[in-house]
Structure 1
């Protein structure tokens, strides 16, 4: 019989939203789910306190997927003004049994356990069931991770592609790169493939085409594209093209024979654009591009709790049965 010792507080903390739940880390359940905007709180500590006050139990284990690097004692959330010490979060949770991992690292861990309803198929293909799987995508920033076979299990390795320099391939992209570089020492990819990036592309294209117009939030650009607004459609097509190119490049680099998974807060909102032929055409490429890509399955992750399930998996592995003490 399972005991309360196997319950854990789990969190998926992004630049825009913080998601919390209680999980049985053996059954990988997700209960008492709650989501908050990060701007509602001054710190992760405050958000955790608020959540714990709303649930009937304080589990003896806790784990958090964080948007950003989790190395070191002090952790800074990317694209949000939260910086915290591991020990501070342990104190708030009331347990020394605590674990942090990157948010895309958590997504990758959950990939083998996803069901059909968690995914939207963009391209079929022959997946190597024990091949490397790639998950990447835009939200408040741009994240990626790979999942590789390790013995009888899996090893998730986060990457930081969003911090890499954006490389332009045409005049439009060069103008976008110049716009981003004017505000940064370089032109990091997360300032192109993100909500802010979508807004930058819209602003640059309108300026260069002489359309003018006010800057609008990313969600309104996406909505306008659905309504066939010319500027918004061109903006989203440009965004999708860049996204597809990088997805293909990274899939080739890591040998993603297990498939490509698109994730991040923006992905479910732009499914119609991802379903257009242009996305796969750019991902597969032509000329020097490898035919390897055309055989890979491509899916978009739809479910809101996949990152939380990945945290539960990480905790189950880190704290095996009977290893916890009260």
Structure 2
């Protein structure tokens, strides 16, 4: 199914991060581009055509990643024999090293040379899914962002943070003229407590997992772990009706839905704690990259819980870094509303590299 807004221009004003402008000889004006956003839970594939610096969506499909044992099998399901892409770019949830990647939360191994050999396509690019998200920001309209903090509008680096199946993080380096996206694995850095409750959580997760990263807290599974952690305190009795649904639905979806409906105190406290930690890690990421250009929150969770995010409370948790609070006050924070951002970014990367 092709979305209504199937035409995206990649040369846009500089009010949102944008990668280097495409060189005339680097574009693929008449060819087909296959773009993929490959995650632990779902994979989105789309076939694009480039016309006058616009990406035109020809077809698109969403898959459950674990329904396929390889990308090759999925690609052959998506494309007909007559649809051979001239360029392919896949944004993958995992660290890409020299054209190879093993999925962080799914069992695929991807190698550009092996893919080209098996599929008889060339070139094929593999980039981190967060890098693809960063490239996609420039293709979004202002209405596809929800501001949480206005900031000062200064030029500078920007960062992207996406809680979902895992926690992805990326940076956009400001070179004085444009933004240059790059991948990180910052979501796997150590979770850092601020107060006693956080220390108790660290001990709880350390006993369960060993290493406690930010990804252990800020992801779908993390929401369930926060729920169980708070349940051990005895302050918020667990509802048997809610817990019974965990075997039938994704626990994180049940918890967030009950929390936003105001039906369950334990679910509500879980979601508030998740939002607090999202603000804290966003603050730490902003400081590490001096992200005066903005903090962008993407992924599958942030847009869904927007009604539960109280701006003033989020702002208060985003601060708390002592002498650096004045700097943090000047950083804009925006939630990305378009779930196709990584897919568009992968297509843009293929068209301009």
Q: Does 1:246 align with 2:281?
A: yes
1:223 aligned partner? 257
Aligned partner of residue 335 in structure 2, secondary structure: strand
Query: Shift of the alpha carbon at 1:117?
Result: 2.4
Q: Distance in 2 between matches of 1:40 and 1:243?
A: 30
Q: Distance in 2 between matches of 1:231 and 1:167?
A: 23
1:161 to 159, 173, 186: 186
Matches within 5 A, 1:170-249: 170-209=195-234, 211-212=237-238, 213=240, 214=243, 216=246, 217-228=251-262, 229-249=264-284
Assess, with a 3 A threshold, how the Cα gap between structure 1 residues 286 and 8 changes in structure 2: closer, same or farther. closer
Q: Does 1:85 align with 2:119?
A: no
TM-score between both structures, scaled by the size of structure 2: 0.83
Q: Distance in 2 between matches of 1:149 and 1:31?
A: 33
Assess, with a 3 A threshold, how the Cα gap between structure 1 residues 276 and 230 changes in structure 2: closer, same or farther. farther
1:49 aligned partner? 76
Aligned partner of residue 131 in structure 1, secondary structure: coil
Q: Distance in 2 between matches of 1:10 and 1:170?
A: 43
Matches within 5 A, 1:94-113: 94-113=120-139
Structure 2 contact 157–290 (Cα < 8 Å) conserved: yes
Q: Distance in 2 between matches of 1:115 and 1:126?
A: 20
2:48 to 15, 23, 32: 23
Matches within 5 A, 1:55-134: 57-128=83-154, 130-134=155-159
Q: Distance in 2 between matches of 1:124 and 1:237?
A: 22
Task: Give the unaligned 5+ runs of structure 1.
Answer: 319-326
Range 269-278 or range 133-142, more displaced: 269-278
1:39 aligned partner? 66
Structure 2 contact 87–351 (Cα < 8 Å) conserved: no
Q: Distance in 1 between matches of 2:171 and 2:204?
A: 31
Output the aligned Cα RMSD.
Answer: 2.1
